[in-house]
Structure 1
Amino acid sequence: MANPDASVIVPARNEADRLERSLDSLAGQRYDGRLEVLVAANGEPTVAAARAHPAVDRVLVDGRGAGPGPARNLGANAADGDVLLFTDADTVVPPDWVRRHCRQYLTPEVVGVGGPLRPLEDDPHHRLCFRLLSDWWYRACWPLGFVQQPGPNCSVRRTAFEAVGGFDESLGFLEDTDLSLRLRREGMVVYDPTCPVETSARRQERVGYAGLFLTYLVGYLEYVLPGRSPTREYF
């Protein structure tokens, strides 16, 4: 079976200083199928940086700047691929990242894939906390049905993405978890522990891991309670 056509979508809001490194990692992908890279960019320096990079096929100006969910939808609506892959502007992916995600879609029942996060920063504290919160947590929750594809390292089958209506743009927080749970109605959402990406720990450094845990705890509670919505402006 041929490799599916793939589209990588990168939301980038005021990320001109970090975007080049992320795009460099996408330029080096070892993938035999058709691959395109789209950047949904907000902020003129970021738009310029995206347009200047040879790995980028299309730059979409995100005039709203309403958050990662709407930016990802903007990119998905313009993409041509059968598989939509999402990562962030402060994230570096390995050379086989697209291939590892797309191989899962050779199984017809698979509609989504997620993988672990590692810190870009070379710090033992970050490495341990990321291992606990952005890998082992997923491994524990996934078999219970609480699937949570992390925004910097996830992909979806286009037909399933369209069937569930994409990212819920009313959510300012946990929009990736919400999409993952809705995708389960369409088929299998797979966790691949062998497909990590490295992402910035700047948010963790800003709020601390205790603050981050509290933010997510409140967000999860707001998500499951009737009539509540996790709208915290964490990002």
Structure 2
Amino acid sequence: MSGVESGAVRVPGNDWTVLDGVRPEHPPFVSVVVVHYEQPGDLARTLGALARQTHPQDLLEVIVVDDGSASAPEVPPGVRLIRLPDRGFRAATARNRGAAVARGSVLCFLDADTAPEPSYVTELTRLPAVRDDAVTVGRRRHAAFSPPAVASPVELAGPAAELPEPAWLRDAYARSHDLLDADHRSYRYVISSVLACSRAFFAATGGFDESFDEYGGEDWEWAHRAFTRGAVLAHVPTAVAWHNGPDVSGRSDDPDELRRRMNRETLLLLNRIGVPGSVGRGLRSAAPDIVVTLPSGTPAATAVCADLILEALPTARVVVDDALAALFPGDDRVLGRSSATTSRADARVTVTTDTLFTVPRADRAAVCTALSRATDDVGTADLGWVELHDPAPAGPALIVSVAAARAEHRRERRPDAHEFTTERRPAALRALPPEPELAAHLGGWAD
């Protein structure tokens, strides 16, 4: 299928297979942002490879952002050069600077030491051109290029000097069917040196986090935010680029130094990505994962409901009226509304209810499990929302809504075509009276 305008085909969840064979009505204008630091030979190879792309050259803009090299790199006519002062490893800042001046509707991010094969741009930009929230990652292969080796076509020079691909990444793409089965941990398989997305979606994410000032992590943090904001993630194995040198695991002969380096990166991300599997089982992250917003109520009713929720979701943030938050100074998970804006914006899952509730003592474990399971399930495949409801309410219907942020963001962009589903599940929820017996709840003898 060809001649399709961006966003015309609906994508349930992350199912980019519905876009197989779909091509844009017209080839997109693509801006390639190349980050460079003291790699003149590699840069020449990569710029030469970009000059040989099958994508129309009049629809291809190349921007080199130099991250503080001692002298300016040489670039051919038509290539834009931006220079940054040397203030450490600032790949995130460099990519943002390049994106800020880009004119293309689609952005491609490359590193200077990663040279693309001729069809790379065409292959990697197809999905972002037909789906503006698609984020694609190419296949980064590895080679030991011998300088200068610039004149030799990379699709020939690469295989002739090939190094092993990292097994962990290759296996992850195989298990996830090229990220078709992406979940909240799939950010680990998005590599910024072979990345593409629409300029509009990149702007909507806020770009890369410029607080990263050492190697590693900035691409994973951005990919996490992109997925949370509804991105369609896809690995495109036909978009091949060759990295000069081995994967990071092969760049050091000292296993202890490599482990220290990886641990630094993991610790940096621990307080930026709060999802299960990225944070400790006991340690909490500064980054919110689940944010629960409660309606206004009395102090006692708010305390009972918040306690139930935090029993089920111990890492959640619970948002209450400002005055009530001050009643719980010993628990920083309880936030006032005026201080919780950032938490809600960054959460993977949000939970809301119009009514403060409790649960019969006999059903408490089951309801806690149901609430926890709902927060795990939303955002997976095409499930966007779970509504927990009492199947036999004594009064007005009481619903606790569990929402995946990626579904909410997708619905904001496409109110009638977000393609996420809602599932209703039973739970023994009971509306609280204005003044429940708080001591009975805390003591464990309340019904």
Kindly state the Cα deviation for residue 200 of structure 1 after the two structures are TM-superposed: 1.8
- Structure-2 residue corresponding to 1:63: 85
- Structure-1 residue corresponding to 2:319: none
Kindly state the Cα deviation for residue 164 of structure 1 after the two structures are TM-superposed: 0.9
Residue identity matched to 1:181: H
Determine if the alignment matches structure 1 residue 176 to structure 2 residue 219. Answer: yes
For 1:29, which of 45, 53, 64 is the aligned residue? Answer: 53
- Structure-1 residue corresponding to 2:40: 16
What is the 5 A alignment of 1:123-138?
127-128=163-164, 130-138=165-173
Bigger shift: residues 72-81 or 180-189: 180-189
What CA RMSD, in Å, does the superposition of the two structures yield over aligned residues?
2.8
Take 1:36 and 1:30, find their aligned partners in 2: how far apart are those partners? 14
Normalised TM-score (structure 1): 0.82
For 2:252, which of 180, 196, 207 is the aligned residue? Answer: 207
For 1:43, which of 64, 69, 76 is the aligned residue? Answer: 69
Larger Rg: 2
Determine if the alignment matches structure 1 residue 163 to structure 2 residue 204. Answer: yes
Take 2:174 and 2:254, find their aligned partners in 1: how far apart are those partners? 19
- Check the 8 A contact 2:96/2:207 in 1, yes or no: yes
Residue identity matched to 2:170: D
What is the 5 A alignment of 1:36-115?
36-41=61-66, 42-45=68-71, 47-50=72-75, 53-54=76-77, 56-66=78-88, 67-108=90-131, 110-115=133-138
SS at match of 1:73: helix
- Structure-1 residue corresponding to 2:238: 194
Take 1:209 and 1:96, find their aligned partners in 2: how far apart are those partners? 37
SS at match of 2:26: coil
Take 1:209 and 1:120, find their aligned partners in 2: how far apart are those partners? 21
Q: Which has the higher contact order (CA 8 A, sep 6+)?
A: 1
- Structure-1 residue corresponding to 2:335: none
SS at match of 2:33: strand
| 1:209–1:196 CA distance, 2 compared to 1 (3 A) | farther
- Check the 8 A contact 2:108/2:195 in 1, yes or no: yes
| 1:179–1:7 CA distance, 2 compared to 1 (3 A) | same
SS at match of 1:104: helix
- Structure-1 residue corresponding to 2:266: 220
SS at match of 1:31: coil
- Check the 8 A contact 1:39/1:59 in 2, yes or no: yes
Take 2:204 and 2:192, find their aligned partners in 1: how far apart are those partners? 19
- Check the 8 A contact 1:22/1:91 in 2, yes or no: yes
Residue identity matched to 2:139: P
Query: For each residue in 1:30-60, what CA deviation from the matched residue of structure 2 results, as whole angstroms up to 9, or x when unmatched?
Result: 1136110000013253x2412xx24x52111
Bigger shift: residues 20-29 or 57-66: 57-66
Normalised TM-score (structure 2): 0.45
- Structure-1 residue corresponding to 2:347: none
Take 1:190 and 1:123, find their aligned partners in 2: how far apart are those partners? 24
Bigger shift: residues 61-70 or 76-85: 61-70
Residue identity matched to 2:251: R
Take 1:209 and 1:113, find their aligned partners in 2: how far apart are those partners? 33
Kindly state the Cα deviation for residue 191 of structure 1 after the two structures are TM-superposed: 1.0
Kindly state the Cα deviation for residue 170 of structure 1 after the two structures are TM-superposed: 1.1
How many residues get paired?
Answer: 223
Q: Percent identity?
A: 24
Take 2:237 and 2:264, find their aligned partners in 1: how far apart are those partners? 27
- Check the 8 A contact 1:164/1:182 in 2, yes or no: yes
Take 2:94 and 2:194, find their aligned partners in 1: how far apart are those partners? 15
Query: For each residue in 1:153-184, what CA deviation from the matched residue of structure 2 results, as whole angstroms up to 9, or x when unmatched?
Result: 11111111101110011123211111112111
Take 2:51 and 2:142, find their aligned partners in 1: how far apart are those partners? 21
